[in-house]
Chains A and B, each alone.
Chain A
Amino acid sequence: MPRPRRNEKSKDFKGAVKRLFKEMKKWHVLLFSSLILAIVGSILALITPNKLSLITDTITDGIRPDVEKLEVIIKNVESNFSDQNKLSANYNIIMNSDNFTLEEKQIFSIALTSENKDDIMSLDEHILLELLDEFVLDDVTLTSKDQKELLDLLSNVNKEDEQALLKTFDALPKNIYNLVKPRINTSLIKDIVIFLIIINVLGAVFEYLEGYLLCTASNNFARNLRTRISNKINVLPLKYFDSHEMGDILSRVTNDVDSVAMNLNQSLSSLVSSVTLFLGSLFMMFITNSIMAITAIVATIIGFSLMSLILSKSQKYFNQKQVELGNLNAHIEEIYDGHSIVKVYNGSKKASEEFDELNKKLYDCNRKSQFLSGLMQPIMGFVGNFGYVAICIVGALLTMNNIISFGVIVAFMIYVRMFTSPLSQIAQSMTGLQSCAAASERVFEFLDEKEMSNEKSFTKYLDKNEVKGNIEFKNVKFGYNEDKTIIKNFSAKIKAGEKIAIVGPTGAGKTTMVNLLMKFYEINGGDILIDGVSINELTRENIHDLFVMVLQDTWLFDGTVSENIKFNKDDVTEEDIWQACETVGVEHFVKTLPNGINALINDNDSISSGQKQLITIARGMIEDAPFLILDEATSNVDTRTEELVQKAMDKLTHGKTSFIIAHRLSTIKNADLILVMSDGNIIEQGKHDELMKEKGFYAELYNSQFQK
């Protein structure tokens, strides 16, 4: 059944966390190595973006043409026209050459004297080629032809248009192109990439190991807690269960332990790695530039104060939602459980109205809490962007005043992202840790409950094969609460082999007598002696060994019929089980089951409560002990079957001291001693006939069976 989640706030967070770590001692090695891995992983993560920006820088460096070299080339080329020595040398060559016509030579000499350079450029190509001397730059020979092409290209390009300029460069003669071509430092990038791959693979391996170790630790811890809770149930006094709901204990075994393990698993590593990332980026930021660091922090703080405001609001609605959900659940449970009553009393309309009201309330909180919690992520995104812009603006200002370089801004753009994202993760894992602490508090609270008194030092022991079977109650006083005594002063002597019946109206304390005899509860005063030995000097285990007990509650566990009858006894043969079945009259029924005694018993309807009760009686039959307690053991069986069982039981009780609690008086008429209880005290005792003669309470009780 769904239980409303309880308050997720722990009472003492620090104490709970301390305790938690103490309890996890066995897994400290796993835990801490996982946390160290988380830290290392985060540090690796801090390196990655830095290296990425280094790659970007390296690429940017190699993206633009080598303008300086181009200028050197151009200068070299132009020197052919401006250097008088070169010019006169070339002039002589051209004038003496037979390759040129007279007319050409004439134009050439005119152009040379002209002030306008364009006149030279417009000369005929082969003259120009003659003018441009080959030269060698960086081991590359630039031919006259190359130079001519360069001049041509440069002459008709708009230098303001960068794209056009770059296109022109692309068309440069191969020799020149190769000289001015930008080169990315590929070997550096290769190194960085290899480094990054190693780091990332390492990071992934670390992260996996971290998760692996942590979940191993947390799950083993959870298993340990569950075992301890389960074992704890067996050493708590029954008193504890009177004041605590079963559902509460159940939810500690499952929900709370689950919550501890899950939150430990999810929150702890993310908390550690977020804190590392956070501190790491903070450190890196301040190292790089403190003004920028402060800018980033201020920007983030503004965003986060907004978020924490919303967070606290949504927390309120979340808590309210849990309450409303619980209320609605309770209502639904009640109406579904009492469906037939609701129907017959025409209560549907009213139930429906109440449902609507609760449903509406839940809707309101639901909507609000979900809306607010849904805002977290968008706000986070906004805070990130806000920080980014702030960094850019402040960074630009600083760059312009030459306080920082561009690389600082790029680095900060990454840092601000690294800085904001762990903050929300820290907030998240803190709430996770909170509920982990709260759940662990509940688990430890249960584990710390006071256990039954230690009996290790007890030396007295009664062997069940040698016990005679005498029991004496001596002025027994008892109350479930200290201030409310139920059994005031009870004394009785029971001889071996007697059949004792305890009768009385509900609430008279009949079952209490059994509880005391079995040492389920400790008596407040007086003494109970078994064969003259006080039960205070015997271990509970010893006492339980002496008794066979069959209760009104038919308790069967999820197993086969055979397992249920055998229970914790090992030396039981199949024959014994059939024998027991036969004695209590379920043999026929068991035979009709699909697998006979190996049929599974579970919650389905195929086995009636009467049949279940008979199986529990069969379980009692298997156990052999000098004392027998039957606490309304046949209440679910119809009277005819009961009679059969009764006969079998009489055989069973033969020679044993037996206590029988019954509300059907017919079953106990032949008892050796009838104890009539009312309000916790024995008000009458004796045999049936004696009591009837007294015409007291018993007689009245007995006769009321036939009253008109």
Chain B
Amino acid sequence: MTKLFKNFTKKDIIAILICFAFILFQVWLELKLPDYMSEITVLVQSEGSKMSEILQQGGFMLLCAFGSLLTAIIVGYVATKLSSSFSMIIRKKIFEKVDSFSTAEIKNFKTSSLITRTTNDVTTIEMFISMGLQALIKAPIMAIWAVSKILNKNFEWSILVFGCVIALLLTVGILMAIVLPRFELVQKLIDKVNGVTKENLTGIRVIRAFNAEKFQESRFENVNNELTNTQLFNQRCFSVLGPMMNLVMHGLTIGIYIIGTILIENALMSEKITLFSNMVVFTSYGMQVIMSFLMLAMIFMMWPRTQISAKRINEVLDEESSIKDGTFDGQTKERGTIEFKDVSFKYPDADEYILKDITFKVNKGETVAFIGSTGSGKSTLINLVPRFYDVTDGEILIDGVNVKDYKIETLNDKLGYVSQKAFMFSKTVYENVSYGNKEISLEQVKKAIDVAEGTDFVTKMDKKYDSLIARGGTNVSGGQKQRLNIARAIAKDPEIYIFDDSFSALDFKTDATLRRNLKEYTKDATSLIVAQRIGTIMNADKIIVLDKGKCVGIGTHKELLKKCKVYKEIALSQLGEEELNNA
């Protein structure tokens, strides 16, 4: 938490100081109020006091009350401004940090967790600053001030107030010790309830097909009961807090009165009145002391949650991207070439290599395809080119320059990447296809969509190229999404295309036509294609067969059929002997 506070600017610290000063003033005013109150009481009580005196004291009291209101407004203004701008800055920092991350870090944190860290966790911190900060400053000042006002007045009463504070803090403390760990449990159980319901929804067909409704219901009942019981326990414990607080506060008042009666009864006549007015003052200040301790207890209740959020935010802010930007942004001698030199890759903490000693070269205009069974490392291999990950050993050269030496922007400018999972922004079709491309005409976008075989369905959409794609692309089918993603790469007109299994959702016909268009349109461009289907890649200039992270064959379709056993197995499993020979 303190680490996060380092993000406070000088302005913020001035704001905090202003808050401090005003709160000081406010506390002074609030402690002054009971004085006026008792004075008014005395005036009203004693016969012969003049109306003007009451009006005067009443005016002072109102002035005090109004002043306190005014300071509260000012403090509130400054504090909320501080907290909201602080949270705005932190949000921005996290966002920028995440932006700088490589795929490895994103995977490490998980996207959903990064989102909650950017929003929910920041909101928690913000709440703490806006409410906690005021209370944190006010409570101790109030407590100390109020205590100092009553401390020399009477020993017995002070002991009583002290005892009440202890009783209260003990209650809150014990309660927290019992309930807090269960609070975290509740959160987990809610997640579980959510999880089982989600299962229920995603697996609805399976559940119904297996007549497993009762089975699922009983699974749900288990977590539901667990959640309800934990929550019941928590809330029942918490039901103690309210009555206990009232009891302590009323107990304090009654206690002060009891002690007061005894003291006054035994006092000298000349001291009785002073004692009595002390007693009245004591009740109100004692209450203030207790209130401030309650306020502090409240902050301590907020503290663990805030602490956890702060920790989660710091984790993100402290993480350094494993990808370091290069410096090269000049012209290269070659264009459109890719070379892998003994490239090996493993995840930082893993023992096993995912790719081992991959070497090959791609010339300008060539199409190179990668094939292999699931987990053979083909996607990982091409993800090394745009530096989603950096190679563990060896090097990758694009246009003769190591990818690590490029400025990332320069490198990206050369690449047209189409991901495995088609991704759509909640923008228009036009904006989606022209994404990242500043100067592009509608004609070029149309052309790109046409090449990607998307004109048909786009022109059928109600606003054509200006149709809005829903969040997550839910209003277009998987195949349509893939085609728009391919169009996005085409619109960029890059030197090198990278297709990471980007044709999987297309039916064979569309797949074939699209590839034919592409070939025609991107004659000069180099392409890297990862695919599952033999049909998609059999015409590539070079096919690289991967098996368990190793390259087990390089060559054309025909060559590989002859010399590569793995390739032949894959081909056979998809096409059968007869077609292979025909093709």
Contacts and interface: CB of A to CB of B under 8 A. Distances in A.
A148 interface: no
Given A340-B103, A704-B509, 17 more contacts: A63-B264, A166-B269, A211-B236, A223-B224, A241-B201, A250-B201, A253-B194, A265-B235, A325-B119, A335-B99, A378-B68, A395-B44, A413-B41, A555-B202, A608-B375, A666-B575, A707-B516
A381 B29 CA distance: 12
A637 to B, nearest CB: 7
B564 interface: no
B257 A385 contact: no
Contacts of B200: 230, 233-234
B96 A352 contact: yes
A558 B199 contact: yes
A382 B68 contact: yes
A466 B112 CA distance: 50
A222 B199 CA distance: 20
B261 A234 contact: no
A385 B99 CA distance: 53
Given A170-B269, A332-B95, A638-B373, A59 B261 contact: yes
Contacts of A553: 202-203, 205-206
Given A234-B208, A332-B115, A339 B201 contact: no
B220 to A, nearest CB: 4
B88 A363 contact: yes
Contact of A346 (B68, B199, B225, B413): B413
29 contacts: A2-B119, A59-B257, A163-B270, A167-B270, A193-B254, A200-B254, A204-B247, A208-B242, A211-B243, A220-B228, A223-B225, A234-B204, A238-B205, A254-B190, A254-B194, A325-B119, A329-B115, A330-B426, A336-B114, A341-B435, A347-B435, A350-B436, A385-B33, A385-B65, A505-B509, A629-B209, A705-B574, A705-B575, A706-B579
A337 B215 CA distance: 34
B583 to A, nearest CB: 5
How big is chain A's contact interface, by range? Answer: 35 or more
Interface string B49-84: 101001100100110111011001100110111011
Nearest to B85: A363
A496 B419 CA distance: 44
Contacts of A337: 111, 423
A65 interface: yes
Nearest to A705: B535
Nearest to B569: A640
B216 A234 contact: yes
A59 B276 contact: yes
A410 B40 CA distance: 11
Interface in A35-57: 48, 52, 55-56
Contacts of A304: none
Contacts of A456: none
Contacts of A342: 99, 436
Contacts of A490: none
A328 B506 CA distance: 33
Given A184-B264, A231-B217, A328-B119, A55 B257 contact: yes
Task: Pick the most buried of B205, B412, B576: most chain A CB atoms within 10 A of its CB.
Answer: B205
Q: Which 5 A-B pairs have the closest CB atoms?
A: A345-B436, A211-B239, A378-B72, A568-B215, A385-B65
A638 B419 contact: no
A562 to B, nearest CB: 14
B103 to A, nearest CB: 6
B190 to A, nearest CB: 6
A702 B508 CA distance: 8
B436 A204 contact: no
Interface residues of B, number: 163
Interface in A221-262: 222-223, 226-227, 229-231, 233-234, 238, 241, 246, 249-250, 253-254, 258, 261
A503 B77 CA distance: 66
Contact of A392 (B54, B130, B471): B54
Nearest to B276: A63
Given A59-B260, A208-B239, A344-B412, A642 B207 contact: no
A537 B190 CA distance: 41
B246 interface: yes
A518 B208 contact: yes
A119 interface: no
Interface stretch (A90-98, A99-107, A523-531, A544-552): A544-552
Interface in B194-245: 194-217, 219-221, 224-225, 227-228, 231-232, 235-236, 238-240, 242-244
A549 B205 contact: yes
B254 A362 contact: no
A344 B415 contact: yes
Interface in A302-341: 325, 328-330, 332-341
B361 interface: no
Contacts of A346: 409, 412-413, 436
Contact of A246 (B68, B106, B202, B250): B202
Contacts of A336: 98, 106, 111, 114-115, 118
B507 A505 contact: yes
Contacts of A399: 44
B264 A59 contact: yes
A287 interface: no
B68 A381 contact: yes
Contacts of A567: 210, 212, 215
B177 interface: no
Contacts of A669: 576
Contacts of A207: 239, 242-243, 246
A230 B197 contact: yes
